[in-house]
């Protein structure tokens, strides 16, 4: 386990920030395509990544050889406004990038754990390795669906497990998440080629700095740093 201090790269405006995030992710996908003829990208949900995805969609890549998936997903179909898959299809899988192959985390199974097993199998079939990952972070310090005090958090943060997808139960006593979710685990991030954490606003920068100094056993940001995830933190005040 290797600890290092987090470096935060600051950008003057949202346009330069989104350009930089997109360029680095596309660079890693391009390198993977050149090396082995295929690439895998995993993206986050929420409103923050939309401008990054729109820039990526214009990239001159052979998108037909790129698999696109999510770092986490709510246990809902794409018809739901809560679906991360729907967001990805509206913002990234358009134009040139519409040729990419989408690998969903959600499938309509009996339980969220069964859906997670199906997703884990699908990602393993893509090689079980992520070439470019776009992370976001919640104001409580969660990444993917690694929520503070979640009963599944220890399993998600265990570096000794194989890369997989796990079902995440709803939170208790008003804590997130409010819906069951599916999430990749820390080993997927440890083994990734590049992980970009896209942050906006002063509040989230302060959360990141606080969490980075925390306990890697229970704080996801600290776990990224402690286990030498190839992390790049890009921040702007307002996107």
For CA atoms 178, 181, 184, 185, the dihedral sign is positive
Q: Which of 69, 80, 68 is nearest to 108 (CA)?
A: 80
**pLDDT tens-digit readout, 67-115:** 999 999 999 999 999 999 999 999 999 999 999 999 999 999 999 999 9
Reading the chain (239 residues) residue by residue, the pLDDT tens digits are 444 556 899 999 999 999 999 999 999 999 999 999 999 999 999 888 999 999 999 999 999 999 999 999 999 999 999 999 999 999 999 999 999 999 999 999 999 999 999 999 999 999 999 999 999 999 999 999 999 889 999 999 999 999 999 999 998 776 768 899 999 999 999 999 999 999 999 999 999 999 999 999 999 999 999 999 999 999 999 85
Does the residue 22 lie in any domain? yes
Does the residue 61 lie in any domain? yes
Q: Is the overall model pTM greater than 0.85, yes or no? A: yes
Q: Which positions ≥6 away from 7 have C-beta within 8 Å?
A: 233
Does the residue 42 lie in any domain? yes
Composition of the chain by helix, strand, coil, percent to 5: 35, 20, 45
Name the residue range of residue 208's domain: 9-106+126-144+189-236
Does the residue 91 lie in any domain? yes
CATH number at residue 229: 3.40.50.1360
Does the residue 28 lie in any domain? yes
Does the residue 65 lie in any domain? yes
Does the residue 117 lie in any domain? no
Task: Kindly provide the b/e burial profile for residues 86-125, where b requires at least 16 CB atoms within 10 angstroms of the residue's own CB.
Answer: bbbbebbbeebbeebeebbbbeeeeebbebbbbbbebbee
* Domain total of the chain: 1
Does the residue 116 lie in any domain? no
């Amino acid at each position: 386990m290797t600890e290092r201090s987090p470096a935060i790269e600051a950008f003057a405006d949202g346009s330069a920030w989104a350009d930089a995030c997109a360029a680095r992710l596309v660079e890693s996908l391009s390198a993977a395509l050149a090396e082995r003829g295929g690439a895998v990208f995993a993206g986050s949900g929420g409103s923050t990544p939309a401008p990054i995805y729109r820039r990526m969609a214009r990239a001159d890549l052979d998108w037909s050889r790129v698999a696109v998936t999510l770092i986490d997903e709510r246990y809902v179909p794409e018809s739901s406004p809560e679906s991360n898959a729907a967001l990805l299809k509206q913002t990234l899988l358009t134009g040139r990038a519409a040729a990419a192959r989408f690998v969903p985390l959600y499938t309509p199974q009996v339980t969220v754990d069964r859906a997670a097993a199906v997703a884990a199998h699908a990602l393993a079939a893509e090689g079980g390795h992520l070439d470019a990952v776009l992370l976001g972070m919640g104001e409580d310090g969660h990444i993917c669906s690694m929520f503070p005090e979640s009963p599944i958090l220890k399993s998600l943060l265990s570096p000794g497990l194989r890369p997989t997808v796990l079902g995440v139960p709803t939170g208790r006593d008003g804590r997130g998440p409010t819906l069951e979710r599916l999430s990749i685990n820390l080993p997927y991030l440890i083994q990734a080629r590049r992980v970009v954490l896209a942050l906006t606003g002063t509040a989230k920068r302060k959360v990141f700095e606080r969490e980075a100094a925390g306990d890697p056993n229970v704080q996801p940001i600290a776990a990224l740093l402690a286990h030498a995830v190839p992390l790049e933190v890009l921040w702007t005040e307002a996107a």
